Chains A and B, each alone.
Chain A
């Protein structure tokens, strides 16, 4: 398949080359996933691998990673290129950062970028992002007041310089984390993933005879850009608006305003009017705001074309500096997902009137509701376990929302048997939550109920990261909201939804996960499917009467 130019590349060869580049990113992801220690990488797919050209534009990304990360990596790489100009990169280098503003919006994610050389020339970059097992600071908290409390920040630095490890940097980092072997293990996994990617790219260029990615990248990006523009052009020009209220932090309620302007094949998503940044860790940096805005648009408008830089060129995202969605340094940002996950819902509600067949209602699983339990457990071993579980997804135009499924994130859930075998906890119940799906022509997905008893000998720490205590997932086009999230202890107390609480042995914690919003008016519901819902207990008889007026 020798060639020296892509200019006249036929569509067959182009497809073959593209598939190969995607499978290179997938192979890098396989290398990362196999060796990662981080629970979050594994259970929440909180990682991504991306192949970029020499300008830092994405060419291909792994299939199963977290969409927002793939979108952010090229932006971080371009920052690196400004700090370390192209000429200064050497084979064997690898640059690292976890700076929230330059990368993924909070410290726990490490971004590592490795240059790829072919015949002595810099031809591209292999990048990976993964959620680290620890970065020091106040673990799992949304109640920090400055980023400095949240852990150690590594500015863009070479962790490898021509293959030699920067021992000083590694030592400083590892001295600041609770589980140094695991943190180092995961960084090594990322380095290996980047190296796998670089090696496969060199073979690819060797096989094809291409000197670099310049023209191929241009050609692939042009196609994805054109496809997205075609989809945008089909929307009537105009400005479409929606707003959303969220729980915020204590007295700081938050409000998101979204105006989407479509003009020809361009789309501008503008969050002007959103609440100002607050002094707690739910601020969402611009990189994250951008990623969580363009991802839902891609899902709605062009779900099946593989992604690269071109997919997002027709989209721009605006948020005034100093607002919740574009905070100034050093705002606390640790739990930025509690805000960022909400963007998909407000964007879909804005677009629903013009794209009724392409959007879904708000999701109860946005943002994710997470409980981390830590302390001394079985056999005296220290433990720290996250309960992974999701609320219900918003209803779709032609189908009920998926129950207990997260969107826009894609966090899975693990086994309760496995959870119990490494923690002093008994989960008495993990069951669908009847009547939690928003009523509508299509019903929202159900949330779930988890009931957890502490069987440790000493009190444990419960860290909660959650929302939707006061603001449910909204319906669209006449659909009703889903049920609110509820977290309550067996003694009747209600733990802070974004902070840490001590729970004593013998106490039980009940967590009710929010349901998804409904789609279309409940009166339009097909009575047969409602009856089936009642038979299966997804909707109770009272619920059917109350929400649907059914006899």
Chain B
């Protein structure tokens, strides 16, 4: 009999989260363990064992384990990756360091430069050159490659090598030739070719991606090998799948080859969970809102699929400052992340105004109310004073909060210097953090030419449901949805993610001058690669859907937009349809079209998706069976109303079909949903709270 149990594992910085789902019984079970940073597989193995023990399943019942990890992103942030050498086109050894030549802060004279993973002495140029059409201008000097590799390995002791040659996206022959030379010398050395990890035009971004891949590869390989071995030792005979940054799952092989594609695998799960809930609720326009302790992440989910993009900036010197990190050409969920979380600190700035974030008190010392030594008022502290959080029921009562300590901190740090009341200061923190999130969301939508008013908010994360109502009001949304179990929501994403791949090839040409035979060749190549991977990742070959698109622009513009290519349009006869598709996308983005300027395509993309496995929530039940929904009332503060008697509900006792009026506070273990006046809450069949705001 086919095994029916699947486990999703999310290795986070502090906790490793587990969610188990049995297809046969529909049973869902969740768990949590402290992450083991030296060897994350330890916590995973222990956790899987415990999940099985708690549910009475055997390792042989496991169909698959789906895994997301912050290991890649942490390796880059903490700079704990391998010593990497770069072999590149002679004359271009500094591409990585020269970068985009911008100052990411216009006014700060003393900015720290964006990080470079490979120092100059380990970047070596070798004679070779292709032109933009992939013709060889200068043959590859194999001896120079050999010497360079020897120097890097013998003298500089590098643990991995990246090879990046100019125009390798167009013709990878020299990079492949270099690989053969290096592999002959050092057969076990991990090697990354830029034309394989990111076959896209723009040498800085492609080289940066290749170096980052080489940088994380040795560590990721060790880790994945260890994990596979340990799972096998446990008696696990199922499949191990890995979550990609774009929200699809893949095989261990691709993860070993291109670990950089896992950089956003954790956050992607949250977006996939939102996509799942939006499909259940029949919502085609959703803003996914995940607010935790340090950051808030927002992304658009349209037609049950998260918006994606094909570049990402990692390892920023200033975390929330665009341009201060290294660019990566990887497919990721298009998400904005800002420094707004429960731990974000409120302070008075130089000119006497209040600011909230991006600095965070984190988990340690944490907010003042935790009583763990925090002295600076945070968002959570403000929420406590406003009556949104119950000092006695935080984390289901595991942690008592101390309002008096908070009052003293707010008084000293904010009320007195700002000359405002304690209530105004607390409410100020709450609305300012909401305001910051609203501004970032509005900008994100504005850049895509979307109007927020037509969207529904899906809120999760520990602080998400506390702030969702305020955020929804600022964005003028009329509806929000809060799934049950804010802390588990994200992990569900692992179980609903479909096997998916993203392939790309750059070939720059004007639409009216394209060599279509070449484009068809590129697609045939990509399709073969993709299908092989997807079948490995558990897909049936005949069920794979292909989505073709191209990055296009008017000649002269610097920004490309991604344009879907209609079926069967790869040829001169499809030109009209492609043009129409371009104008359609263009006007969606920019609200207008300019028909007279020629169009060019730069990169050709193929996304392949196999149907994901669904999970049923029909057997989801709140963890405890409270019988009395209404816990009582407490004083909570709402703008324009002041402190009012606010009904407090036990979320676990609410039943599908229940209906209640705001203001209300609805408590569950991991979070609290705050609903202001002029709003109605209904509970849907899978225990989501649906909040309609008038």
Q: Which residue from B107, B113, B121, B137 sits with its C-beta under 8 Å from A426?
A: B137
How distant is the Cα of A229 from the Cα of B1 in the complex, in angstroms?
79
* Contact in complex: A448, B98 (CB < 8 Å): yes
* Contact in complex: A304, B113 (CB < 8 Å): no
Name A1-31 residues within 8 Å CB distance of B.
Answer: 1-2, 10-16, 18-20, 23, 26-27, 30-31
- Cβ distance A90 to chain B, nearest Cβ, rounded Å: 24
Which of B224-232, B372-380, B403-411, B430-438 interfaces with chain A?
A: B430-438
Q: Which residue from B119, B435, B558 sits with its C-beta under 8 Å from A20?
A: B435
* Contact in complex: A413, B639 (CB < 8 Å): no
Interface check B425, CB cutoff 8 A = yes
- Cβ distance B351 to chain A, nearest Cβ, rounded Å: 5
Contacts of B597 in A (CB 8 A): 37, 181-182, 185
* Contact in complex: A12, B121 (CB < 8 Å): no
Contacts of B439 in A (CB 8 A): 19-20, 23
Contacts of B436 in A (CB 8 A): 19
* Contact in complex: A417, B203 (CB < 8 Å): yes
Interface check A490, CB cutoff 8 A = no
* Contact in complex: B424, A431 (CB < 8 Å): no
* Contact in complex: B101, A413 (CB < 8 Å): yes
Q: Which residue from A12, A298, A404, A426 sits with its C-beta under 8 Å from B101?
A: A404
Contacts of B166 in A (CB 8 A): 416-417
Contacts of B592 in A (CB 8 A): 35, 188, 192
Q: Mark B88-100, 1 if CB is under 8 A from A, else 0.
A: 0011111101101
Contacts of A13 in B (CB 8 A): 428
| Chain A minimum-CB-distance residue to B417 | A11
How distant is the Cα of A402 from the Cα of B116 in the complex, in angstroms?
13
How distant is the Cα of A412 from the Cα of B442 in the complex, in angstroms?
26
Interface check B395, CB cutoff 8 A = no
Contacts of A417 in B (CB 8 A): 132, 166-167, 169, 201-203
Name B306-363 residues within 8 Å CB distance of A.
Answer: 348, 350-355
Q: Mark B544-580, 1 if CB is under 8 A from A, else 0.
A: 0000000000111111000000000000000000000
* Contact in complex: A405, B108 (CB < 8 Å): no
Contacts of A416 in B (CB 8 A): 92, 166, 203
- Once A43-B558, A410-B103, A417-B203 are accepted as A-B contacts, the answer to whether A404 and B109 lie under 8 Å apart by CB is no
- Cβ distance A52 to chain B, nearest Cβ, rounded Å: 20
* Contact in complex: B92, A430 (CB < 8 Å): yes
Could you tell me the dominant secondary structure of chain B's interface residues? loop
Interface check A226, CB cutoff 8 A = yes
- Once A37-B557, A415-B204 are accepted as A-B contacts, the answer to whether A11 and B418 lie under 8 Å apart by CB is yes
How distant is the Cα of A406 from the Cα of B101 in the complex, in angstroms?
7
- Once A11-B420, A413-B101 are accepted as A-B contacts, the answer to whether A451 and B132 lie under 8 Å apart by CB is no
Q: Mark A427-453, 1 if CB is under 8 A from B, else 0.
A: 111111000000000000000100100
How distant is the Cα of A431 from the Cα of B204 in the complex, in angstroms?
13
* Contact in complex: A390, B101 (CB < 8 Å): yes
How distant is the Cα of A26 from the Cα of B439 in the complex, in angstroms?
10
Interface check B596, CB cutoff 8 A = yes
How distant is the Cα of A403 from the Cα of B612 in the complex, in angstroms?
48
- Cβ distance A517 to chain B, nearest Cβ, rounded Å: 14
- Once A11-B418, A26-B443, A410-B106 are accepted as A-B contacts, the answer to whether A226 and B559 lie under 8 Å apart by CB is no
- Cβ distance B322 to chain A, nearest Cβ, rounded Å: 8
Name B281-301 residues within 8 Å CB distance of A.
Answer: none
| Chain B minimum-CB-distance residue to A384 | B556
Q: Which residue from B101, B106, B350 sits with its C-beta under 8 Å from A64?
A: B106
Contacts of A381 in B (CB 8 A): 510
How distant is the Cα of A2 from the Cα of B639 in the complex, in angstroms?
10
Contacts of A39 in B (CB 8 A): 556, 558
Interface check B513, CB cutoff 8 A = yes
* Contact in complex: B201, A12 (CB < 8 Å): no
* Contact in complex: A407, B639 (CB < 8 Å): no
- Cβ distance A363 to chain B, nearest Cβ, rounded Å: 10
Number of interface residues of B (CB under 8 A): 77
* Contact in complex: A16, B431 (CB < 8 Å): yes
Contacts of B431 in A (CB 8 A): 12, 16
* Contact in complex: B350, A305 (CB < 8 Å): yes
Q: Mark B389-424, 1 if CB is under 8 A from A, else 0.
A: 000000000000000000000000000001110001
* Contact in complex: B98, A404 (CB < 8 Å): yes
* Contact in complex: B591, A192 (CB < 8 Å): yes
- Cβ distance A525 to chain B, nearest Cβ, rounded Å: 19
Contacts of A31 in B (CB 8 A): 446
* Contact in complex: A421, B558 (CB < 8 Å): no
- Once A11-B354, A299-B109 are accepted as A-B contacts, the answer to whether A420 and B203 lie under 8 Å apart by CB is no
Q: Which residue from A379, A427, A448 sits with its C-beta under 8 Å from B513?
A: A379
* Contact in complex: B102, A431 (CB < 8 Å): no
Contacts of B432 in A (CB 8 A): 12, 15-16
Which of A105-113, A282-290, A532-540 interfaces with chain B?
A: A532-540
How distant is the Cα of A396 from the Cα of B202 in the complex, in angstroms?
31
Interface check A34, CB cutoff 8 A = yes
Interface check B594, CB cutoff 8 A = yes
Q: Which residue from A19, A133, A299, A414 sits with its C-beta under 8 Å from B435?
A: A19
| Chain A minimum-CB-distance residue to B120 | A536
* Contact in complex: B110, A399 (CB < 8 Å): yes
How distant is the Cα of A64 from the Cα of B321 in the complex, in angstroms?
11
Interface check B590, CB cutoff 8 A = yes
* Contact in complex: B110, A398 (CB < 8 Å): yes
Contacts of B351 in A (CB 8 A): 223-224, 226-227, 305
Contacts of B158 in A (CB 8 A): none
- Once A30-B443, A299-B107, A405-B103 are accepted as A-B contacts, the answer to whether A418 and B94 lie under 8 Å apart by CB is no
How distant is the Cα of A145 from the Cα of B137 in the complex, in angstroms?
43
Contacts of B77 in A (CB 8 A): none
How distant is the Cα of A354 from the Cα of B107 in the complex, in angstroms?
20
Contacts of B181 in A (CB 8 A): none
Q: Mark A355-373, 1 if CB is under 8 A from B, else 0.
A: 0001110000000000000
Name B637-677 residues within 8 Å CB distance of A.
Answer: 639-640
Name A303-325 residues within 8 Å CB distance of B.
Answer: 303-305
* Contact in complex: A12, B424 (CB < 8 Å): yes
| Chain A minimum-CB-distance residue to B555 | A422
Contacts of B34 in A (CB 8 A): none
- Cβ distance A117 to chain B, nearest Cβ, rounded Å: 22
Interface check A198, CB cutoff 8 A = no
| Chain A minimum-CB-distance residue to B592 | A188
Interface check A154, CB cutoff 8 A = no
How distant is the Cα of A12 from the Cα of B555 in the complex, in angstroms?
47
Interface check A331, CB cutoff 8 A = no
Interface check B532, CB cutoff 8 A = no
* Contact in complex: A537, B113 (CB < 8 Å): no
A sample of 20 inter-chain contacts (CB < 8 A) reads A11-B418, A15-B354, A18-B353, A23-B439, A223-B351, A223-B353, A358-B109, A396-B109, A396-B110, A404-B98, A405-B102, A410-B102, A413-B98, A417-B166, A418-B202, A426-B131, A432-B97, A535-B121, A536-B119, A536-B121
Given contacts A192-B592, A404-B98, A418-B508, 11 further A-B contacts (CB under 8 A): A10-B418, A12-B420, A14-B353, A16-B435, A20-B439, A188-B592, A223-B353, A389-B101, A399-B110, A415-B203, A420-B131
Return the 7 tightest CB-CB contacts between A and B, nearest first: A429-B91, A12-B428, A536-B120, A42-B558, A421-B132, A15-B353, A413-B101
